[in-house]
Every structure is written in structure tokens, then in C-alpha cells.
Amino acid sequence: MIAIKNSMQQDGIRRSAALLSAVFSRIQTVIVPGVTTSEIDRVVEETIKAGGGVPAFLGYGGFPASVCASVNDQVIHGIPDNTPLTEGDIVGCDIGVILDGYYSDACKTFPIGTVSRDTETLLEVTRESLAAAIGVCGPGARVKDIGKAVTQVASPHGYGIVYSYCGHGVGLSLHEDPQIPNYYPSRGLNPRLKPGMVLAIEPMINAGSADVEVLDDGWTVITADGRLSAHFEHTILITENGAEALTTWGE
């Protein structure tokens, strides 16, 4: 069942999203060559707790950290470690916040120092695909319009759109209905969007094949061909007039 959030719930999710936005504002100052993903995780956890929140990912299904830090060919669910990031790397930081029982979820893929033009294009196109997806949201639109918008932006570049993982509802728990495929055409239900729905839209775009594999740690998803992957996500609210992004990346 898709939850329609009332005004009180919407306000609570907004506050959670505001704290999450503050976390992104904080971590962008530390994501530089030489930092480790474990150090990023420490800053994420400290910032969330200082704001009165709880890291939504820490302990979720046994996940051991507050941020999913996915480096280079890691698509999602990367586990932080002590390996320093180097010039030209990219790292996707996927973070969830619980504040007073309300959930928000967002991700940004950061370039480390100066990246290649091909890498820069991948990041730009993935970010543009998220903007296009949010742009088609509003009352009366359908879930599959989201994946269609992503596909129209990413496919002309020859990129692989990850089909094994998808966006989702969010707000009262971390993962709610509906599931939101990032590709088109897709299988499954195609409900209309209604005011009060809160969605986590999150295109995951690979430089090469769309195929992915899961490492032996049971969490880290990597591209099957070893090429780079980018991931951008916002928590959005469907309003009477369209859609509102509740999260920002602190830019």
C-alpha cells in the first residue's frame, strides 16, 4: 500500500530532510584526495547525531555503517573502509536519516579532485536524469514516467541503466511502496502519483553495461564490466502542483 502523508507527517519528513541536507553540506568539505570512506562515515554519523537524528542505514539489515560509500565501479551499498580516495576517483555517498521517527534518503556521487572528461560527463548525465525524473512528477503522472524520463536522458549516451535496483517510497519507514524503476519500459505496477506521496528517486547509471554483481560481503554491488557507476538521489514530495525536492546536497 502506498502511504499518503498528512500535513503533520510531511512536516516531520521535511525536518528529517533538512538534517540530511546539512549532512551533505558538511561532508562536501571533507571529501578530498586522501580522505578515507571510513572518515566520511564518521563525519556522517557525528553530524546526524548532533542534529538529534539517527543514521537510518546503521544496522539496517546488518549494514555496518551510516553511509553507503560506493567508489568507482561500486554501484551502491559500498562499505566504508580505510583506503584513501585518490585524485580522479568518484564516490557515491548514499545517506539516510531518521529524525523523530521520520525518514529521508539522498545520494550524491562526488568527484575526487579533478576527474576525466568522460567521468565528468557520466556524473552530469546521471544528475540530469534525476532532474528530468523529478520534473515529470506530479498529480496524475505515473510511476513509469519516472523511469521513462531517466531513460530518455541516459540512453542516448550509451550508458547502462541499472535495472536490478530501484527507487522507492520513503518517509514513515526507509523503504515503502511504490517501487520506482529507473528504466523504461519496465514491468510491475504503474500507479498514478498523488499529492502527499513521498518518493526517493535514485537513478544509478553505469558507464558501460547495466549488469551488476554483488561482492562476497553480501552488500557491495559492482558493475559487471568494471566500469564506473554514478548514483544521485533526492527525497521528493508530490504536491498539488507538481513535486518538491525536500533534500539538497548542501551546494
Residue 251 confidence (pLDDT): 83
Residue 73 confidence (pLDDT): 98
Domain ranges of the chain: 7-245
Which amino acid is located at 57 in the chain?
F
Cβ 174 vs Cβ 105: under 8 Å: yes
pLDDT tens digits, 33-72: 999 999 999 999 999 999 999 999 999 999 999 999 999 9
**DSSP letter assigned to residue 186:** -
C-alpha cell at 71: 567508489
Q: How far apart are CA 61 and CA 57, in angstroms?
A: 8
Q: How far apart are CA 182 and CA 164, in angstroms?
A: 10
Stretch 160-170: mean pLDDT: 98
pLDDT tens digits, 81-123: 999 999 999 999 999 999 999 999 999 999 999 999 999 999 9
Q: Which CATH number fits domain 7-245: 3.90.230.10, 3.30.56.10, 3.40.630.10, 3.40.50.1970?
A: 3.90.230.10
Cβ 23 vs Cβ 44: under 8 Å: yes
Which strand (E) or helix (H) includes residue 24? helix 7-27
SS3 27: helix
Query: Which pTM was predicted?
Result: 0.97
The DSSP line for 59-111 is TGGG--SSEEEEETTEEE-PPP-SPBP-TT-EEEEEEEEEETTEEEEEEEEEE
